[in-house]
């Protein structure tokens, strides 16, 4: 086998996804649901891959947990262009006298559903195909739901999708048109998750293992390879809007996987952004700073019971991943940033005027984070800032109309 899974808690080795699925996605020895993939592969080949053009993240097949290329389900996702947005550089110079490079990772250009979730969905569909999985279920705030619906349809896998009642109509229509089984919860995202878990139990259907799901992490870690291929180096700062937290977990995994062989690959300062209408991680972080990162700080965070936000894909009120994400942010020297939901349209409007790109609301949260980082003096002269805009406005027509 080219890869294996290792339990993060007890170190037990799980030979492949076949055994991982058979054990209901937990470690057969200790029951932990947190496992990581390692490879028996020569990493020197990576530098060769950096020199050639890539059609998708499958360019890095040797470092992905799939044995047979015939099982790949792809719509050309992951190898998306990183653009330099000069108007943001000019703004930093004019307003704060900061010379920085601002690069934007355009997830709206992903070939599946124009979101950051396409790579994970492509990876999942391919792994399921290889391991004979016929049915799957997932709870999602929107983007993951649509991406998994599309890719699993392509692989002939039946998907039951549980979404919160605040889900937007465009998402509902798209999932139904893909022929998947959509269940709109009577409550918020937490309720949808509970309903999915019940369905998983009573029907013995495999369910997404959440933000630490090794499938999602392995797909998204290829971001690190793409930064190296397209920029020739790692950015100094990585900004992303955060709901669950797979993005930062994946960046950290990608860096850890290759940093010993390639010392130039360093973890960027990770800056995670939430809008003020649903910002439990920011609150948890502020609390940690106030208490000097006392022991166990990462386990203390608020739960926002009914987040009143129009950014439905960033509506995780219970930030269960904070204990994993916060230490990664701390290790990186980064921070959490709060932005105003009321300002999102303005930032997205400027982006549209300056670049022609129509961002979705969550991508606008990420962009607003750049302005906030400048205001909080978190960006310094000479730094390269990478903004990961998670999505376009394809399923946020109301938001797009306001632009």
Point out which residues bind Zn ion (CB under 5 A): 7, 9-10, 12, 27, 29-30, 32
Q: For residue 137, what are the β-bridge partners?
A: 160, 207
CA pseudo-torsion sign 82, 366, 265, 46: negative
> Which of residues 4 and 332 has its CB atom nearest to Zn ion in the complex?
4
Q: How many residues does the chain have?
A: 403
Asked if 132 and 79 count as a contact pair (C-beta separation under 8 A), the reply is: no
> Which of residues 12 and 71 has its CB atom nearest to Zn ion in the complex?
12
CB of 102 to Zn ion, least distance (A): 42
Helices 246-258 and 222-231: crossing angle, nearest 10°?
A: 70
> Which of residues 14 and 154 has its CB atom nearest to Zn ion in the complex?
14
DSSP SS3 for 182: strand
> Which of residues 29 and 277 has its CB atom nearest to Zn ion in the complex?
29
CB of 23 to Zn ion, least distance (A): 10
Bridge-based pairing of strands 181-184 and 206-207 is unpaired
> Which of residues 36 and 310 has its CB atom nearest to Zn ion in the complex?
36
CB of 33 to Zn ion, least distance (A): 10
Asked if 263 and 228 count as a contact pair (C-beta separation under 8 A), the reply is: no
- Structure token pair of residue 35: 């496992």
> Which of residues 30 and 303 has its CB atom nearest to Zn ion in the complex?
30
> Which of residues 37 and 344 has its CB atom nearest to Zn ion in the complex?
37
> Which of residues 21 and 43 has its CB atom nearest to Zn ion in the complex?
21
Each residue of 261-293: b (16+ CB within 10 Å) or e? ebeebebbbbbbbbbebbbbbbbbbeebeeeee
CB of 223 to Zn ion, least distance (A): 27
Task: Return all residues near 184 (Cβ < 8 A) that are at least 6 apart.
Answer: 163, 164, 165, 167, 172
CB of 10 to Zn ion, least distance (A): 3
CB of 20 to Zn ion, least distance (A): 12
Nearest Cα residue to 112 out of 66, 64, 149: 149
CB of 276 to Zn ion, least distance (A): 39
CB of 224 to Zn ion, least distance (A): 26
Asked if 253 and 36 count as a contact pair (C-beta separation under 8 A), the reply is: yes
DSSP SS3 for 117: coil
Share of the chain residues as helix, strand and coil, in percent rounded to the nearest 5: 45, 15, 40
């Amino acid at each position: 086998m080219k890869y294996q899974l290792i339990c993060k808690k007890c170190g037990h080795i799980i030979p492949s996804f076949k055994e991982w699925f058979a054990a209901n996605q937990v470690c057969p020895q200790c029951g932990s649901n947190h496992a990581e993939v390692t490879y028996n592969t020569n990493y020197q080949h990576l530098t060769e891959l950096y020199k050639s053009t890539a059609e998708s993240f499958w360019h890095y097949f040797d470092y992905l947990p799939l044995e047979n290329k015939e099982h790949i389900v792809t719509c050309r996702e992951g190898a998306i262009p990183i653009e330099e947005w000069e108007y943001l550089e000019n703004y930093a110079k004019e307003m704060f006298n900061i010379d920085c490079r601002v690069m934007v990772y355009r997830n709206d250009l992903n070939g599946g559903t124009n979101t950051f979730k396409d790579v994970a969905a492509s990876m999942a569909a391919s792994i399921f195909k290889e391991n004979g999985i016929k049915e799957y279920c997932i709870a999602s705030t929107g983007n993951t739901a649509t991406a998994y619906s599309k890719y699993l349809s392509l692989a002939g896998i039946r998907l039951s999708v549980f979404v919160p009642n605040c889900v937007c109509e465009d998402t509902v229509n798209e999932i139904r048109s893909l022929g998947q089984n959509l269940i709109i919860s009577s409550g918020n995202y937490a309720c949808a998750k509970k309903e999915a878990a019940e369905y998983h139990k009573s029907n013995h259907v495999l369910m997404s293992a959440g933000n630490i799901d090794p499938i999602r992490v392995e797909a998204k870690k290829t971001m690190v390879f793409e930064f190296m291929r397209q920029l020739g180096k790692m950015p100094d700062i990585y900004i992303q809007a955060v709901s669950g937290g797979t993005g930062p977990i994946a960046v950290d995994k990608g860096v850890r996987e290759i940093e010993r062989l390639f010392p130039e690959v360093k973890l960027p300062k990770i800056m995670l952004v939430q809008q003020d209408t649903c910002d439990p991680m920011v609150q948890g972080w502020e609390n940690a700073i106030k208490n000097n990162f006392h022991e166990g700080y990462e386990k203390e965070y608020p739960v926002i019971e009914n987040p009143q936000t129009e950014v439905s894909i960033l509506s995780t009120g219970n930030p269960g991943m904070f204990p994993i994400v916060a230490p990664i942010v701390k290790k990186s020297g980064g921070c959490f940033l709060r932005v105003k939901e009321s300002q999102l349209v303005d930032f997205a409007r400027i982006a549209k005027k300056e670049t022609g790109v129509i961002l979705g609301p969550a991508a606008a949260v990420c962009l607003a984070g750049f302005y906030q980082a400048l205001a909080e003096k978190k960006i310094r002269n000479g730094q390269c800032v990478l903004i990961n805009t998670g999505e376009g406005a394809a399923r946020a027509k109301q938001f797009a109309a306001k632009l």
